């Protein structure tokens, strides 16, 4: 009887452990990649509102909404294909991924990616400097320098620290952003409703949305370090689509809120901050800036982590172990010092001209190969497996 009681008592515990593991797996497959993607995506001009007005809101409330929808669908397709190709080939850093995709020409992506990282870090430095300078009255270079030091520190702590920060921060991020949208509606509801009611559409929204998608899709191979838990094609495709949706939720929120200041807000270098300032809500403004500054740090850390993952992958092949922490820190500092030289150019030209050029480069070295070679490999792999399963044994 004691044995029976013990067995019966253990069964629920085993079931609970199994359920817990299943729930953790679900989170790692469907939420973590999207959270990491959102954290990296928001920092480089997106969180300030500069990218949103540049690529969406300037085309009207209707044009911006159409553009955001198109960009979300484009990102979903690109991320879904990227996650599945990575799962199928077992490549979880961008170097290994592009060796699988384009062979010896993989270095072309690395060159463009490093240029992109430096550009995004420059945007982050410029935005941080402007915000901190405006709040404290200090020189802009202090805000930029402080942000860059925090990025280097987070990278020094290693992959798990970066992944944990990128996964947890979006919860606070979306909460504060939601408060921002609510505050705008409460304070300027009449003008916002009027703008939304007009739903004007200006020509050029589709091309602008695709440009946004092209250069931001390059983050797909960078977040592969967060996709190790994906185990099937269905999971990979679903995870990619969910990641795109999670990444673009704040963009829709910002576009709606910025309608309260449209069209004058389009000319502002940090539109979200300027709109909050006009609402005269100092506590919310401070909270928003703290969260935004933290997002800058996360974005920089996530992008540089992609470089560190590539270095570790190469060293594992050469000597069987990755780089030491201090090497990761040195890589971070070098990237941050170089990018700080670009920051004085200003956030507006960096986002408008720099990101636009990046879009064409990533189209050539990533999107076209993914849509041709990548799709062909996924299709032929599916055909091969179907043939094997149908063959007599």
Q: Is the pLDDT of residue 315 over 70?
A: yes
Dist CA 280 CA 200 (whole Å) = 28
CATH of domain 30-371: 1.20.1740.10
Q: Is the pLDDT of residue 59 over 80?
A: yes
**Of 103-107, 225-229, 234-238, highest mean pLDDT:** 234-238
Q: Answer yes or no: are the C-beta atoms of 43 and 296 closer than 8 Å.
A: yes
- Collapsed DSSP state (helix, strand, coil) of residue 137: coil
Q: Mean of the pLDDT values across residues 276-300?
A: 80
pLDDT of residue 9: 45
Dist CA 77 CA 106 (whole Å) = 21
CA nearest 186: which of 61, 269, 284, 271?
A: 284
Dist CA 258 CA 354 (whole Å) = 23
pLDDT in tens, 1-44: 444 444 444 444 444 444 444 777 888 899 989 988 887 787 65
Which carries the bigger pLDDT value, residue 118 or residue 344? 118
Q: Where are the domains of the chain?
A: 30-371
pLDDT of residue 155: 62
pLDDT in tens, 323-336: 666 777 777 777 77
pLDDT of residue 389: 46
pLDDT of residue 163: 59
Alpha carbon of 384 to those of 183, 379, 390, 391: distances in Å?
Answer: 55, 9, 10, 11
- Mean residue pLDDT of the chain comes to 80
CA nearest 300: which of 347, 254, 251, 333?
A: 333
- Among the listed ranges 24-38, 100-114, 125-139, which one has the minimum average pLDDT value? 125-139
φ, ψ of residue 315 in degrees (nearest 5): -70, -35
* Residue 29 tokens, joined: 């497959």
Q: Is the pLDDT of residue 379 over 80?
A: yes
CA nearest 369: which of 101, 142, 175, 35?
A: 101
* Residue 295 tokens, joined: 């997002």
- Any residues with CB less than 8 A from the CB of 323 and at least 6 apart, and which? 308, 311, 312, 315
pLDDT of residue 388: 46
Q: Mean of the pLDDT values across residues 190-197?
A: 80
Q: Mean of the pLDDT values across residues 302-331?
A: 73
pLDDT in tens, 348-374: 777 777 788 888 999 999 999 999 999
């Amino acid at each position: 009887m004691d044995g029976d009681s013990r067995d019966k008592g253990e069964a629920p515990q085993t079931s609970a452990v199994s359920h817990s593991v299943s729930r953790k797996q679900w989170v790692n497959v469907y939420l973590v990649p999207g959270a990491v993607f959102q954290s990296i995506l928001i920092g480089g001009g997106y969180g300030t509102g500069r990218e949103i007005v540049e690529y969406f809101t300037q085309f009207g409330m209707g044009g911006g909404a159409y553009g955001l929808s198109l960009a979300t669908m484009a990102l979903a397709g690109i991320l879904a294909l990227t996650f599945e190709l990575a799962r199928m080939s077992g490549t979880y850093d961008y170097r290994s991924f592009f060796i699988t995709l384009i062979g010896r020409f993989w270095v072309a992506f690395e060159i463009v990616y490093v240029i992109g990282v430096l550009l995004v870090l420059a945007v982050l430095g410029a935005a941080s400097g402007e915000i901190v300078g405006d709040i404290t009255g200090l020189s802009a270079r202090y805000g930029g320098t402080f942000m860059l030091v925090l990025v280097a520190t987070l990278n020094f702590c290693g992959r798990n620290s970066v992944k944990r920060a990128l996964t947890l921060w979006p919860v606070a991020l979306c909460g504060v952003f939601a408060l921002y949208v609510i505050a705008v509606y409460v304070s300027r509801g009449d003008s916002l409703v009027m703008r939304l009611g007009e739903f004007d559409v200006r020509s050029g929204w589709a091309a602008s949305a695709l440009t946004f998608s092209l250069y931001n899709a390059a983050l797909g191979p960078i977040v592969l370090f967060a996709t190790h838990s994906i185990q099937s094609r269905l999971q990979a495709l679903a995870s990619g689509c969910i990641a795109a949706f999670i990444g673009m939720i704040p963009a829709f929120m910002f576009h709606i809120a910025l309608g309260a200041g449209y069209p004058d807000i389009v000319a502002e270098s940090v539109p979200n901050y300027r709109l909050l300032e006009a609402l005269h809500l100092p506590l919310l403004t401070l909270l928003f800036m703290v969260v935004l500054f933290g997002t800058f740090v996360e974005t920089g850390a996530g992008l540089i982590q992609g470089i560190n993952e590539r270095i570790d992958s190469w060293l594992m092949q050469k000597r069987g172990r990755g780089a030491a922490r201090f090497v990761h820190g040195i890589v971070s500092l070098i990237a941050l010092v170089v990018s700080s030289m670009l920051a004085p150019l200003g956030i507006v030209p960096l986002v408008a001209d720099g990101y636009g050029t990046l879009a064409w480069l990533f189209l050539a070295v990533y999107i076209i190969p993914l849509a041709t070679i990548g799709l062909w490999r996924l299709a032929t792999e599916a055909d091969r497996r179907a043939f094997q399963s149908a063959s007599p044994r």
